[in-house]
Structure 1
Amino acid sequence: MQLESAYPVIVTEAIGPCRDFYARHFGFDVVFESSWFIYLASKANPALAVAFMSPDHPSSPPGPERFNGQGMFFTLQVSDAAVEFQKVRQSGARIAYELRDEPWGQRRFGLVDPSGAWVDVVQQIEPAPGFWDPYMTSA
């Protein structure tokens, strides 16, 4: 299989608010927009994308069902989570998980988009010494 693109599609009534959320807070551009589907790509790297589809979409395959906000999250990996945290906070977004360093090796913060999806903004950092030892197995 030779992939040309891969991106999540979230089924929600809030496609317009989701478009505005990702454009305002994370620098995504609208690549395609119709009344029932919006495809956004990162200004910095167009290969990074997300799409939103109305539950009453006219496409022929059955489903998918409306997203209920559970069982999925969208990770945006950045080089400096502290800088991005300040930018997102200053843009007026409601932060749901304050910036912190996690013992497993991530500096992160989180927020919820208008579809109810958890957005996890992470920077990879050194884990706490010994954190991963109990989870590693040897062959």
Structure 2
Amino acid sequence: MRFVDRYPIIVTPKLRECRDFWRRHLGFTVVFEATWFVLLQAEGASATLAFMSPDHPSAPPGPEVFPGFGTCFELQVENAAAAFDEFQRDDGPVGLHLVDEPFGQRRFGFTDPSGLWVDVVEQIDPAAGFWEGYVVDAEG
């Protein structure tokens, strides 16, 4: 199976707030917008995200309003410190300040208006020996 694109659709009554948040704080642009749906994309089509109103009849079966927990949207960047500085310059609401994690990520995080937790991460070297107790060998 070959995919043309992939993106989550977050069902939320806060469609416009989410659109404005992602445009202002993360530089996403609107690819498509209707009264019930907005599709956003990052520079270079490196990430895509959509928001949909819960009351539109075209909604596929099953998607209730996003409850604001149970999902983490990862955005990997080359330089998390620079991304953090840029996010703060635009008054982004930081939920987790920039930190180097022993498992090998430099990251910061925030919650968007829909309640979606967003982790902005840069891959770095893990602390020596960190993964030794977690890695499963090929034999299982």
Secondary structure in 2 matching 1:119: strand
Counterpart of 1:73, as a letter, is: C
Q: Displaced runs of 4+ in structure 1, greater than 2 A?
A: 60-63
Q: Does 1:66 align with 2:71?
A: no
Aligned match of 2:30: 30
How many residue pairs are counted as aligned between the two chains? 138
Following TM superposition, by how much is the alpha carbon of 1:137 offset from its aligned partner in structure 2, in angstroms? Answer: 2.4
Counterpart of 1:64, as a letter, is: P
Q: 1:126 to 1:60 in 2, by over 3 A?
A: closer
Q: Normalising by structure 2, report the TM-score.
A: 0.95
Distance 2:112 2:63 in 1: 19
Superimposed CA distance per residue, residues 12-42 of structure 1 (whole angstroms, 9 cap, x where no aligned partner): 0111111111111111100000000000011
Q: Normalising by structure 1, report the TM-score.
A: 0.95
Distance 2:129 2:82 in 1: 28
> Unpaired segments of 5 or more residues in structure 2?
none
Distance 2:115 2:13 in 1: 11
Identity, in percent, stands at 52
Distance 1:54 1:61 in 2: 12
Distance 1:103 1:30 in 2: 36
Root-mean-square deviation (CA, aligned residues, Å) is: 1.1
Distance 1:108 1:60 in 2: 34
Aligned match of 1:108: 107
Counterpart of 2:73, as a letter, is: F
Aligned match of 1:48: 47
